[in-house]
Chain A
Amino acid sequence: MTTDREQVRSLDDPEIMVQTPGTIFDAIPPLTPRTEREAEFYDLSEGQMFVNLGPQHPSTHGVLRVVLKIDGEKIVDLDPVMGYLHRGVEKICENGDWHHAISNTDPLEYVASMFSEALPVLSAERLLELQVPRRAEYIRVLAWELNRVASHALFIGWLALDLGGITPILYGFAERDEIVEMLASLTGQRLLFNYLRIGGVNGDVSHDFLSRLGDWMSRAGVRVNDQAALMNENEIFVNRTKGLGVLDRETALHYGMSGPPLRATGVPYDVRRAHPYSVYPELEFDIPVRTDGDSYARYLLHIEEIKQSLRIIDQVLHQMPDGPVMAKLPRLLRVPPGRAFAALESPRGQYAAYAVSDGSDQPFRFRIHDPSFFNLQAVRSLTRGHLLADIMAIMASLDPVMGGIDK
């Protein structure tokens, strides 16, 4: 345990900046360490220094703060600090009724919120043992897959931007903007859709949406292909991502990771196939898997997944039946008592909720499993010993969304 650190005053003390500006270089944290791990981490050796990466750093994807202990450019250790976006979503959900939970879980996954808002919907439907109209299921799958393409297109751009390439992010946004405009015509919102309902969806597909979708499908993925053409065989990009942040299968499973980071290690786990929900069993698509487990494999996996999503959208458009889009439900929804676990495959992995109902119109407990949180755990073991620039490539390839991590 370090004793001399106790003499360093808090950085919140206004005088410390005036009198001893030099202390700022070794005063993280100003408080006495709480655990052994903290004591070990915040003990600097010769030639090392701390760098606060975030929460307002341009490339931490939101408000993640990473305290880096660096030796020159080399990362000796790091300590992710979370909670800057904490709202207590689980508790908010438990204080409102089941319908309110939909809009409350919306901003968790703010890049692809069609997935996080499905959590209360799916879990309540399990508890109610409700048969959702088939047209509604198809519309849900359509919206999910569109949102997945939008999210993956942005992932590719982000990865490039964190590596210093400025063009792919704008291609990604061009693709995403078109999809988001489509979804706006379907749901009325561009970012937080609030579209799924317990027992169906809020409104049928419109003519405007279908004509936009048909137009888009005829040239879907053009921008993604442009991104791939800029990056796939770019010597600099490949050199910077290949063999970087290699995860093996056991570590990934040990951390409870899911989604593309897990599938890049060779585990073909996709909730859509492993624990089928909605109408996914009726649709034909593959689960792309890679075995390298590095950043480059994760990147390539995203491009392959976009192609599979386009396949699904094509089938959905051809197979969508007629009929109602909303099941008949009482206005005051009292969910029968019980426990339900609902999971779905979001662009970042398995998004799941464990809901307990006590028979009232509010969930008694609503626990959310966010894939970004579990994927982000690997950052420390992946980046130790690498250079400062590598943490961007590794973190971008794990694709965390801070809304879900901080909840």
Chain B
Amino acid sequence: MSAATTPAPPGVTTLGKIVLALLAVVVAGALAFLLLWVTGIGDALVAFAIDTGTANVEILRFVAAATGVLLFTVPAAFVIIYMELKIIAQMNLRVGPDRTGPWGALASLMAGLKVLSKEDYTPRGVDVPVFTLAPAVTFLASVMTLLVVPFAPGMAGYYMDLGLIYFFAASGLGVVGLMMAGWSSFNKYSLLGGIRAAAAVISYELPLILATFGVVLLAGTLNLGQIVEDQAGWAWNWYGFQQPLALIIFFIAATAEAGRTPFDYTEADSELVAGFATEYSGMRFGFFFFAEYVNVFILSALTVTLFLGGYHSGIDIDPILGFLGVNTPVEMGNIDLGSLGPWLLGLPLLVPPVLTLVLAAFLWAIKSSWGALKSIVVGFVLANLLLGAAITIWAFFSFEALLGIAVFFGKSFALVALFVLMRATYPRVRIDQMMNFAWKWLMPAALLNIFITAAAILFVREYLS
């Protein structure tokens, strides 16, 4: 205690300064805690916090979920940007990022830091409040849609009975941000970009929503969690197989909604310079940039949720386990080890070495300069990290949550990769062709799909059951 209070002697090292400062903070904290405990104020504060929390648990849960979703989008966007850099580089005969981190994996993080550290410039003549708010509106609108998407059994931000409606309502707000940016920027290219966004997003929102009606009719609910649960079991239970037309319409409309190639009309770089984002710089531009990638992920996630089985792997595990002699349902928490049999019991033991070897073989194959030993060491570290993450999720949630997250993200990022491949392949559709396509093809097809689905459901109800 005396060491902390005495002034630092001259000649103390940098490390010493840090340690002394930390020590002072710890001592002060301990004193404050003692004081609170002795006087009884601390207990009262804790009791008050618990009371308030239990009384408003729904609000707390909502805030926690919103924060979690907000924090989650950042790494998701980084992964998508990295995927885009790498995949398009492969298609363009380039190497792509390979300097920062292994295989350039930190390139998108560095790009984020760069954007963060750049000057945030407000040009003269702009409508300052609108100009400042626009990126926030766009970003929050796309992030908040993620609140209702179920990642795994029991893992959704918020199970809402009107989940689908909430999703479209929130994602429709994004275009308001784009229009605000286009209008307030005091730039004709921005204005054109904003007007294009308004015209086209409104056109494509209709087929996007109409395409989901078939699924809603089949599921009988708007709750996304319930819709996913209806697709449990084998892969042919997925609504994508019962509603193939709706899946195609939805995916095309989602591409337009996210403003991705071939529908990247809003920021068409060869026509409108950068569209609505022309006048933005620094992190405000970064928010638009982020919102685009978050949108890509969210629309992929919604496609997976509605049409591709959500977090269900498409393999019905019960008959297989029954064939192996395990009684279902399996409670992974308090499993009866005796019922597993020696072979099934030995299976988990095989996971770490097999995973290590698989990762090592993969690394050894793609890194020509790496020897076998280095590959195995890195593979071992990677396998440990993966298993650690998996066991953490297993411990805090459940085995189903672990499996669901893996399946859900696998499917979602596969769809994201499809978006990226489309970007590298297609030129841009002209705005009038795009509108024609939306109103003359997608809309009638979506209406036809609703009609056929409804008629089929009526027919089945009337005559077959």
A residues contacting B by CB (< 8 A) are: 17-18, 21, 24-25, 49, 51, 57-59, 72-73, 160-167, 170-171, 174, 230-231, 234, 236-237, 239-240, 387-390, 392
Contacts and interface: CB of A to CB of B under 8 A. Distances in A.
**Leading 9 A-B pairs by shortest Cβ distance:** A164-B428, A165-B427, A21-B125, A163-B427, A170-B92, A59-B270, A164-B427, A162-B270, A389-B430
A164 B423 CA distance: 9
Nearest to A57: B273
Given A21-B186, A58-B269, A164-B264, A239 B433 contact: yes
B259 to A, nearest CB: 12
A131 B386 CA distance: 76
Contacts of B270: 58-59, 161-164, 392
A161 B427 CA distance: 8
28 contacts: A17-B125, A21-B124, A25-B188, A51-B189, A51-B192, A59-B271, A73-B196, A73-B431, A162-B270, A163-B270, A165-B426, A165-B427, A166-B88, A166-B424, A167-B88, A167-B424, A167-B425, A170-B94, A171-B92, A174-B93, A231-B427, A236-B262, A236-B426, A237-B427, A387-B430, A389-B268, A389-B428, A389-B430
Interface residues of B, number: 33
A240 B427 contact: yes
Nearest to A166: B424
A6 B158 CA distance: 62
A167 B93 CA distance: 9
Contact of A236 (B91, B424, B427): B427
Contact of A388 (B269, B271, B433): B271
B125 to A, nearest CB: 4
Nearest to B265: A389
Contacts of B273: 57-58
Contacts of B428: 163-165, 236, 240, 389
A364 B188 CA distance: 48
A368 B78 CA distance: 53
Contacts of A72: 195
B261 interface: yes
Contacts of A24: 125
B331 interface: no
Contacts of A240: 427-430, 433
Query: Quick one: which of A51, A59, A161, A167 has the most chain B CB within 10 A?
Result: A167
A170 B268 contact: no
B432 interface: yes
B447 to A, nearest CB: 23
Given A51-B188, A57-B273, 20 more contacts: A17-B124, A21-B125, A24-B125, A49-B188, A59-B270, A72-B195, A73-B192, A160-B427, A163-B270, A164-B262, A164-B426, A165-B426, A167-B91, A167-B424, A170-B92, A234-B427, A236-B427, A237-B427, A389-B430, A389-B431
A160 B424 CA distance: 11
Interface string B374-415: 000000000000000000000000000000000000000000
B187 to A, nearest CB: 10
Contacts of A18: 124
Nearest to A239: B433
B198 to A, nearest CB: 12
A263 to B, nearest CB: 24
A165 B196 CA distance: 19
B377 to A, nearest CB: 37
A162 to B, nearest CB: 5
B251 to A, nearest CB: 16
Interface of B: 88, 91-94, 124-125, 186, 188-189, 192, 195-196, 261-262, 264, 268-273, 423-433
B271 A234 contact: no
B271 A392 contact: yes
A166 B125 contact: no
A389 B192 CA distance: 12
B424 to A, nearest CB: 5
A275 B432 CA distance: 45
A48 to B, nearest CB: 12
B193 to A, nearest CB: 11
Contacts of B268: 164, 389
Contacts of B91: 167
B412 to A, nearest CB: 24
A124 B262 CA distance: 51
Nearest to A230: B425
B206 to A, nearest CB: 21
A209 B431 CA distance: 47
Contacts of B124: 17-18, 21
Nearest to A396: B270
B125 A389 contact: no
A230 B423 CA distance: 13
A59 B196 CA distance: 19
A167 B92 contact: yes
A215 B87 CA distance: 29
A160 B125 CA distance: 35
Contacts of A163: 270, 427-428
A51 B278 CA distance: 14
Contacts of A234: 426-427
A57 B426 CA distance: 22
Contacts of B271: 59, 388-389, 392
Contacts of A166: 88, 92, 261, 423-424
Nearest to A163: B427
A308 to B, nearest CB: 25
A390 B431 CA distance: 10
B434 to A, nearest CB: 10
A179 B164 CA distance: 55
A51 B273 CA distance: 12
Contacts of A174: 93
Contacts of B429: 236, 239-240
Query: Quick one: which of A234, A236, A387, A390 has the most chain B CB within 10 A?
Result: A236
B430 to A, nearest CB: 5
Contacts of A21: 124-125, 186
Contacts of B92: 166-167, 170-171
B59 to A, nearest CB: 44
Nearest to A390: B430
Nearest to A68: B188
Nearest to B91: A167
Query: Quick one: which of B94, B268, B270, B429 has the most chain A CB within 10 A?
Result: B270
Nearest to A59: B270
Nearest to A158: B270
Contacts of B188: 25, 49, 51
A174 to B, nearest CB: 5
Given A164-B264, A167-B91, A170-B92, A388 B192 contact: yes
Contacts of A164: 261-262, 264, 268-270, 426-428
Nearest to B424: A167
Contacts of B425: 165, 167, 230
Contacts of B432: 73, 387
Contacts of B423: 166
A240 B436 CA distance: 13
A148 B423 CA distance: 30
Given A49-B188, A389-B268, A171 B93 contact: yes
Contacts of A49: 188
B81 to A, nearest CB: 15
Nearest to B191: A49
B190 to A, nearest CB: 11
A72 B92 CA distance: 35
Query: Quick one: which of B88, B264, B268, B427 has the most chain A CB within 10 A?
Result: B427
A73 B268 CA distance: 13
